[in-house]
Amino acid sequence: MAITEQTTTAQPGGSDAGTAQPPAFPFKRTCPFAPAAEYAEVDGVTEVLFKNVPAWLVTDHQNVKAVLADRAASVQNIPDPSRGDSGDQAMPGFFLAMDPPEQTRLRKMLAREFTPRRMEAMRPTVERIANNLIDAMLEKPGTGDIVEDIALPLPSLVICELLGVPYDKHDWFQVETRKVLDSDAAPEEVNGAIMAVMQYLGELTASKLENPGDDLISLLVNHVRSGDLELNEVAGMATLLLMAGHETTGNMISLGMFTLLEHPDQLEQIRQDPTLLPGAVEELLRFDDIIGNLPRTITADVEIGGHTFKEGDIVMVAMDAANRDPKVFDDPNTLNIRRDARSHIAFGYGIHVCLGAPLARVELQVVINALLQRIPTLKVAVPAEEVELKNDARIFGLKALPVTW
């Protein structure tokens, strides 16, 4: 697939790359409201080191989408221990680490349950949980922590209710998920955390074969009865949804609120006109992009952005940089909640685009609206530069967001 006419051949680690050591990637983000500063030093397709392995970095919006959409860009054979496998054989049910046709088979069974219409039907549930959490925070003597009081428990409680998992397990899920997302965690620790959650959910899935409920795991159990799914695949899919769903949305809730509190003119516009909220959420997703980057392995020579990537190359796509591409977004480093930001790729792109995006949007809209309307005097309790960043994990966020009212 050719995006530009001029073509060069990409050879990571080759003699034409020069003698200087390529920079280590991912770059470390040090500002809550901007991608890593190192992006300013790269242009087009750049050689980097990912997990000490030569790789190529793609940063512009058009070519990031092109890589993510290309069937030659595989999610297999990637040196990333957070997957819980050796890279060439995904764990049962972990369709994010699979290529078609297995990825297609599993994702199709879940996709019908994650439509925007069905996720919108969960809005009252999300509102109930959000208001309960805000009630509990307001019982404190004038101070709270958006991360611990609101942002992390809300998506965890929502996904537990969706899956039919007991609420009393959500703290344990958060602990195990943090092990998986810790960039310094040893592979055996990551694998142990994933297997512990899978074992619990496998036992829960087996119990729902005998006593089904009105929840997602019970719906998936129907596919076990029909022979279309194995029990361990259901447990794997449930594990993936739990681990991928609550930490990501939780980080986005706290960082999004921090962003608005540090842009009071934008915040006040939303408070005065809540109809701006859906568009504001899209702009926050673009502006704050917490995922940052995704790796792909090239399975056949492919031409993208004027470069020929060779079979076996690892390509890193930087969505955080792409979402600041001035060719796509005017004045991209400025937060503008009235911007049409729907072309952002914070949820990825192509066949692996985030399945839970409709639910994440509902959660963000609900919790931001509830906080703005219920606590009009909400403000950050410390200077912005003292808010500690979680830039040592695979998903960017805040370690805490102290607030007062």
* pLDDT above 70 (res 19): no
The tokens of 55 are what?
């790789």
How many residues are listed for the chain in this entry?
Answer: 405
Cβ 171 vs Cβ 257: under 8 Å: no
* Closest to 348 in 3D by CA, of 69, 29, 32: 69
Dihedrals phi, psi of 18, to nearest 5 degrees: 90, 175
Arithmetic mean of pLDDT, 123-143 = 95
Rg (CA), the chain: 21
Cβ 167 vs Cβ 157: under 8 Å: yes
Domain boundaries, the chain: 8-404
* pLDDT above 50 (res 14): no
Mean pLDDT of the chain: 89
pTM of the model: 0.89
The pLDDT tens digits of the residues spanning 330-357 come to 999 999 999 999 999 999 999 999 999 9
If you classify domain 8-404 with CATH, what class do you get?
mainly alpha
pLDDT band at 194 (very low <50, low <70, confident <90, very high): confident
* pLDDT above 90 (res 85): no
- Please, what is the Cα angle at 305 between 299 and 309, to 5 degrees? 25
Q: What is the pLDDT of residue 266?
A: 96
The pLDDT tens digits of the residues spanning 198-218 come to 888 888 999 998 888 889 999
Arithmetic mean of pLDDT, 26-55 = 92
Q: Residue for token digits 């994440």? A: 360
pLDDT band at 77 (very low <50, low <70, confident <90, very high): confident
From 103-112, 121-130, 327-336, the region with the lowest mean pLDDT: 103-112
Arithmetic mean of pLDDT, 145-152 = 96
Arithmetic mean of pLDDT, 141-159 = 93
pLDDT band at 17 (very low <50, low <70, confident <90, very high): very low
* pLDDT above 80 (res 182): no
Q: What is the pLDDT of residue 168?
A: 79
